[in-house]
Structure 1
Amino acid sequence: MPADQLSILDGSTFLVSDPDGEVHRDTDGPQGLFYRDVRHLSRWQLRLNGRQLNRLSSATTEYDTAVFYLAEATGSVYRSPPVTVVRHRRIGGGLHERLTVSNHRGSSVSLHLMIMFAADFADLFEVRDGNPSSRRPHISIGEGCVTLEYRREDFMRRTVIRADGAAVTEQSLLYQVDLEAGETWHTDITVELVADGRRLALKDSRQPNMNCSVQEWLESAPRLETDWADLNHAYRRSLLDLAALRFYPDVEPHHSVPAGGLPWYMALFGRDSLITSYQALPFVPELAHTTLRALAERQAHDTDDFRDAEPGKIMHELRHGELTRFHQRPQSPYYGSADATPLFLVVLDEDERWTGDASLVREMEGTARAALRWMEVYGDRDGDGFIEYATRNHDSGMVNHCWKDSDNSIVYPDGRPAPLPRAVCEIQGYAYDARLRLARLAREFWHDDALADRAEADAARLRERFNDVFWLPDDACYALALDGQGCAVPTVASNMGQLLWSGVVPPDRVDRLVGHLFSTRMFSGWGIRTMAAGQPAYSPVEYHNGAVWPHDNALIAAGLARYGRHDEAARIARALVTASRTFDYRLPEALTGADRALTDVPVRYPTAASPQAWSASAPLLIIRTLLGLVPDTDGLRTNVHLPGEVEHIDLFGVPGRWGRMDVKTS
């Protein structure tokens, strides 16, 4: 999303405008009011006496509210604006906008205030691709009200605009405002949304998409005290953004889960929600619980080529727009992810380690066994022990089913795409970790020692074979992937850093791996690049071939700490937290890979989602890594290694199987 857009959100409802508060259909970027993958307002523009106002100030006051202070143009720096208009905007279930008009003249004034609106009901995928289709909604006008409705067979979306006191047409709201000298006038406009017969309830106050207030959400998380001011701010921003990104999917109507990110990913995702939940443990542990339940409900049971589904597979994304409804995109849920299934097992085990919720593990036994079977049978399509992928939906399926899921991410160093099917390195690490974790669950909770023994033996064989096949001795690093012919793709990329997180790297190779990660080719100063500079495929402004991703770096930092490389983990932590300062302590989805020495400030990737769930939860994993927090049956263990300039990071009330515990480093 362009950096000059202003957005507010509440779960799966969000609004993106320009800094003046204006929504234009024909503009760069995803402007409009969206709900569940459909644009309910494609135009929302304010005019005073037929003219656009000048913006004096605009800002989001919280994640779901914004204010715009506008003034009538004077044409001269020596004349003060005679009239000002303030737009107070709040989102939640729909849109509420209060307009406040003030007359600063010494005499009365007669004004014509107009809001121009339209609803194209475009699918979010169309908006993202820059070609939203023209739809002709049915428009009906009532007293102070206008309804715009679009239908296609059983698919229905409706936008209802209510504006008491306005003269209403099919395209505008018009107010006649007469003000005496010094007088102020205001009015309220509401925009209600209806999807397939279900009307959303407008929020009366700041109540996020959850069963508690924002303050209660913040107070339920551990209290952080530190002399590292940037970390304090980043921590609070992380908690607020995770609150904003939560929504209620159909499969879990009473429990909210994290959406992927604004604007394109405001939906339930497998990989995204699992990684977010993992990073958020133990700060907001309920995310893992609700995510596991939501994904288990949508686990595939049949083979479906159109959706890339196979029995036991965990879904990739759940969409509700028109294109998925009518099979113009893979029908929802879509299963084009090869890593969500092993990650599900990783998070299931991790959730129990922190929370002690054995009932969830027992409840998920069938789901977990099916996930393991998918890894063994469907994920490993050629029986070589590795998980590989290739879409079976060649018209609209995704090419890459790993976290670097852009079409050009798995390439040779010269930029040539690796032939399908592809076995990327980090997924093998996930599969190794998943088997070990499942073995623990099988032995301790399902009382199936045979399954546990088999999973551990398979993990050991995978580790040995992986390190034999993927290791490139001449380059002293791991291959990015194996291509369709089983040949190594020798591109130097950050994927190998996540192998440390999974624990699949032998100790004697860690030094050489760390040497690559922190070389000038890979470490930009703000984090580890997704691809090492100097390769023809590299670009600092390439999404997965050069940009720096906060979540990728947070997982790598956790892996470094796992192998005792605490100084390097702290180096990543310092870089990310310092970078957050430039973005009001909200780390975007990705930064460009430009060297820190070039600008001395981090540069946001041009279309980065913000807020984005992975990045919002990355500072939480960073804190956990620096404090060395490890859950144990007897309590919470710590192994503190702080950046040199930081004297203390204290956490009060860390939740877990032990109840609440304080961690003090000062």
Structure 2
Amino acid sequence: MPERTLSVLDGSTFVIGDRSGDVRADEGREHGFFSEDTRFLSRWVLRIGATPLQLLGLDQAAHFSAGFFLAPVVDPDDSAAWSVIRRRLVDEVWSERITVTNHRHEPVRLHVALEVDTDFADLFEVKDGAVAAREILFHHDDTALVLAYAHERFRRSVEIVASRPATITRHGFEFTPQLAPAEQWSVDLTLTPQAAQPGAEFPRRTRRGDIDELTRAKAGELEEWLAAAPKLETDNGALARTYRASLSDLAALRMRPELHQGATLPAAGLPWFMALFGRDSLITSFQALPYLPGLAATALRTLAAHQATSRDDFHEQEPGKILHELRFGELTANGERPHSPYYGTADATPLFVVLLDEYHRWTGDDALVRELEPHARAALRWIEESGDADGDGYVEYARRNDASGLANQCWKDSWDAIQFADGRLARGPIATCEIQGYVYDARRRAARLAREVWDDPLLAEQLERQAAALRVRFHEDFWMPERGCCALALDGDKRRVDSVTSNIGHLLWSGLLDDDAAAATAERLLEPQLWSGWGVRTLGTAERGYNPLGYHTGTVWPHENSLIAAGLARYGHRDAATRVALAVLSAAPHFEHRLPEVFGGFPAAMTSVPVAFPTASRPQAWAAGAPLQLLSTLLRLTPAMREADAMLPQGLRRVALRRPTTSARRLGAVGSVNS
């Protein structure tokens, strides 16, 4: 995200503005007060007199609050006559306290104004930079302003209440306090968004107390969240800070699905992906399982509740399919966008089964596995039937909603992600290699559940036969001996998409390759074409489409590297796994220990620092989960272990994870290593 912005968030409710606390959507199109996929405020600008304000200090110790310390711009030989502190808290509603202090030895009368505007834009409009005009209704008294918009049964409103009387118009609040020498004057403002639309239920939001009380309560909630995870003990300060930042980012992104009171699961990322995403929630929950297993349980239940039961080309749904994305904005509500929910992904469905088994391995929760058995069976049927529409044994995707669906429906879902070595784009239906790995893993894992929990040995045998046959067939169809690795995909004509990509690393994570192919793949991943020094690139440097700042065509994704490291360790390539893990972890301090969604694929020898990707989400869920997965790989954490079977690399002399005393007894044992 550009340096000029600062975010304060509480799950899917968030404020993005500049580093002085102002929201100016006309100067930074991502600015605003957002909730329910709607921008409730597009302008929130503080002015005190005619003199511009300058930032003196910024305090953001937690994701939900910020403090901005400001003063008027003065000449070098002058002193500021007054200063102002803005304290901001987001906790379903937005609370802000503005405090002005008079530094003169004489009384002063000030003109304090807050400029307010809104467009109630759909988040997709904001992202695309094309916001439609809307008729905004308003009413006010001497302490409150309400702005509202309605189109048929789609309704949005925001109420702004001041703790003091003010002169209020459609465009904001004005106060004229007179301050004695050294006197402070303050006003509290509460901004409450409300939403209503067919097919969705939103809580009625109310302010719950004073901003100071709320800040203390939120800080206590964050500490409880951190305390619920294993405690990391290490002599490496950077690792300790990265670990805490990852847990804090996952706390910041927590959504509270209406289906499960009190439970949370991670939204995908700020600013554009503060919503339920199937693939992202599943992978993040997998990464975090030894640390925060409750995320996985909620993600599985929530995605099961939205599992498709019929076919619909507009939403690209088919029976048994797991959703890609769920939205609530106006474009979705009126049917212009298919995200209510949208099912255009081919990998979330096998990943649902993968996570269900991994969750069971760590928790022993037979009850949830039995509860979700019908959903897992439906997912397996989708893999065999709709997912493999032409019956060739591979799960493919082909967009059915040409107007607003995704052309690529794998994790690399940008328009140019699936391309041949010469830069030509692959045409569908497309069967990417990593999805076949997920299918293989899902079948093997479901076989274990069928045998051990569902009491269905016949299903277990069938799934194991299918997995074994897929492994043989996959090597025959995907392996490229001339390139020493598997093809990225098979296109609609069953041709190998021959570019060298990071996707091959997922095959190690899923266990689809035999030992010889795995060894060759491990070597390929760490060759200069894919290896940047900060991690594995999404596309090799020798491929025609390579771009170190291409979203999926040359960048480095921390979450993907966490899966690659786990896959290398799975096949016994521990030195290679350690190299990948340390490279990604060493990038974290350059991003304030909070890994972004993606960063540039420039060689480390060229840049000496990881290069930021200009529009990367941060915080982002599976980037926050990446250090957790990497730590699990370095320590070789398993559900039944007592002591970690690992030799830590130089610089990590001691790492210990202490299980919280409140953890469930079957929650994966954590490890301790000294070297």
Q: Common fold, TM-score beyond 0.5?
A: yes
The residue matched to 2:111 in structure 1 has which SS? strand
Where in structure 2 are the equivalents of 1:182-261 lying within 5 Å? 182-196=182-196, 198-202=203-207, 204=209, 205-206=214-215, 213-261=221-269
Aligned-pair distance for 1:208?
8.7
CA distance in 1, matches of 2:522, 2:507: 11
Letter in 1 for 2:182: G
Question: 1:643 aligns to what?
Answer: 649
Where in structure 2 are the equivalents of 1:652-663 lying within 5 Å? 652-653=658-659, 655=663, 657-658=665-666, 661-663=669-671
CA distance in 1, matches of 2:208, 2:533: 43
CA distance in 2, matches of 1:522, 1:209: 43
CA distance in 2, matches of 1:85, 1:329: 43
The residue matched to 1:665 in structure 2 has which SS? strand
- Any conservation in 1 of the 2:639–2:668 contact (CA below 8 Å)? no
- Any conservation in 2 of the 1:14–1:34 contact (CA below 8 Å)? yes
Where in structure 2 are the equivalents of 1:79-98 lying within 5 Å? 79-98=78-97
- Any conservation in 1 of the 2:639–2:669 contact (CA below 8 Å)? no
Letter in 2 for 1:31: H
CA distance in 1, matches of 2:555, 2:84: 41
The residue matched to 2:374 in structure 1 has which SS? helix
The residue matched to 1:305 in structure 2 has which SS? coil
Structure 2 alignment gaps of length 5 or more: 197-201
Question: 2:284 aligns to what?
Answer: 276
Aligned-pair distance for 1:489?
0.4
After superposition, give the CA deviation of every residue in 1:160-204 in whole Å (9 maximum; x if it has no partner): 000122211110100102112222111111101111175323354
CA distance in 2, matches of 1:201, 1:374: 43
Distance of aligned partners of 1:140 and 1:540 in 2 relative to their CA distance in 1, 3 Å threshold: same
2:647 is the counterpart of 1:610: no
Q: How many residues align?
A: 662
- Any conservation in 1 of the 2:642–2:670 contact (CA below 8 Å)? no
The residue matched to 1:467 in structure 2 has which SS? helix
Aligned-pair distance for 1:438?
0.3
Where in structure 2 are the equivalents of 1:526-541 lying within 5 Å? 526-541=534-549
Question: 1:12 aligns to what?
Answer: 12
The residue matched to 1:55 in structure 2 has which SS? strand
Distance of aligned partners of 1:198 and 1:137 in 2 relative to their CA distance in 1, 3 Å threshold: farther
Where in structure 2 are the equivalents of 1:250-649 lying within 5 Å? 250-632=258-640, 636=642, 638-649=644-655
Letter in 1 for 2:493: Q
Aligned-pair distance for 1:61?
2.4
- Any conservation in 2 of the 1:480–1:493 contact (CA below 8 Å)? yes
CA distance in 2, matches of 1:535, 1:183: 66
CA distance in 2, matches of 1:665, 1:254: 36
Distance of aligned partners of 1:14 and 1:498 in 2 relative to their CA distance in 1, 3 Å threshold: same
CA distance in 1, matches of 2:243, 2:215: 20
- Give aligned-pair identity as a percent: 48
Letter in 1 for 2:119: D
Aligned-pair distance for 1:497?
0.7
The residue matched to 1:46 in structure 2 has which SS? strand
Letter in 2 for 1:350: E
- Any conservation in 1 of the 2:643–2:670 contact (CA below 8 Å)? no
Question: 2:131 aligns to what?
Answer: 132
Aligned-pair distance for 1:656?
5.5
Distance of aligned partners of 1:40 and 1:208 in 2 relative to their CA distance in 1, 3 Å threshold: farther
The residue matched to 1:306 in structure 2 has which SS? coil
CA distance in 2, matches of 1:552, 1:430: 14
CA distance in 1, matches of 2:217, 2:514: 45
Distance of aligned partners of 1:42 and 1:659 in 2 relative to their CA distance in 1, 3 Å threshold: closer
Structure 1 alignment gaps of length 5 or more: none
- Any conservation in 1 of the 2:59–2:67 contact (CA below 8 Å)? yes
After superposition, give the CA deviation of every residue in 1:103-138 in whole Å (9 maximum; x if it has no partner): 112222111010001111000000001111121210
Question: 2:199 aligns to what?
Answer: none
The residue matched to 1:58 in structure 2 has which SS? strand
Letter in 1 for 2:2: P
Aligned-pair distance for 1:206?
4.0
Distance of aligned partners of 1:502 and 1:637 in 2 relative to their CA distance in 1, 3 Å threshold: farther
Question: 1:41 aligns to what?
Answer: 41
Distance of aligned partners of 1:228 and 1:125 in 2 relative to their CA distance in 1, 3 Å threshold: same
Question: 1:170 aligns to what?
Answer: 170
CA distance in 1, matches of 2:215, 2:181: 34
- Any conservation in 1 of the 2:290–2:668 contact (CA below 8 Å)? no
- Any conservation in 2 of the 1:2–1:29 contact (CA below 8 Å)? no
- Any conservation in 1 of the 2:637–2:670 contact (CA below 8 Å)? no
CA distance in 1, matches of 2:447, 2:208: 46
- Any conservation in 1 of the 2:83–2:101 contact (CA below 8 Å)? yes
CA distance in 2, matches of 1:151, 1:236: 42
Distance of aligned partners of 1:203 and 1:413 in 2 relative to their CA distance in 1, 3 Å threshold: farther
- Any conservation in 1 of the 2:290–2:667 contact (CA below 8 Å)? no
After superposition, give the CA deviation of every residue in 1:424-473 in whole Å (9 maximum; x if it has no partner): 01000000000000000001111111100000000000011111111001
CA distance in 1, matches of 2:609, 2:352: 36
After superposition, give the CA deviation of every residue in 1:281-314 in whole Å (9 maximum; x if it has no partner): 1100100001000000000000010000000000
Aligned-pair distance for 1:572?
1.5
Letter in 2 for 1:21: G
- Any conservation in 1 of the 2:643–2:671 contact (CA below 8 Å)? no
CA distance in 2, matches of 1:122, 1:451: 49
Distance of aligned partners of 1:206 and 1:564 in 2 relative to their CA distance in 1, 3 Å threshold: farther
- Any conservation in 1 of the 2:362–2:668 contact (CA below 8 Å)? no
- Any conservation in 2 of the 1:209–1:248 contact (CA below 8 Å)? no
Letter in 2 for 1:503: G
Letter in 2 for 1:225: E
CA distance in 2, matches of 1:517, 1:372: 31
The residue matched to 1:432 in structure 2 has which SS? helix
Instruction: Give the TM-score, by structure 1 length.
Output: 0.97
Letter in 2 for 1:620: L
Question: 1:148 aligns to what?
Answer: 147
Letter in 2 for 1:590: V
CA distance in 1, matches of 2:225, 2:79: 44
CA distance in 2, matches of 1:55, 1:487: 58
Distance of aligned partners of 1:129 and 1:461 in 2 relative to their CA distance in 1, 3 Å threshold: same
The residue matched to 1:61 in structure 2 has which SS? coil
Letter in 1 for 2:58: S
- Any conservation in 2 of the 1:524–1:595 contact (CA below 8 Å)? yes
- Any conservation in 2 of the 1:11–1:209 contact (CA below 8 Å)? no
Letter in 2 for 1:372: L
Question: 1:180 aligns to what?
Answer: 180
- Any conservation in 1 of the 2:638–2:669 contact (CA below 8 Å)? no
Distance of aligned partners of 1:207 and 1:590 in 2 relative to their CA distance in 1, 3 Å threshold: farther
Distance of aligned partners of 1:523 and 1:430 in 2 relative to their CA distance in 1, 3 Å threshold: same
After superposition, give the CA deviation of every residue in 1:80-114 in whole Å (9 maximum; x if it has no partner): 22211111111111111110111112222111010
CA distance in 2, matches of 1:208, 1:321: 30
- Any conservation in 2 of the 1:288–1:347 contact (CA below 8 Å)? yes
- Any conservation in 1 of the 2:429–2:492 contact (CA below 8 Å)? yes
CA distance in 1, matches of 2:216, 2:502: 39
Q: CA RMSD in A?
A: 1.6
Letter in 1 for 2:609: V
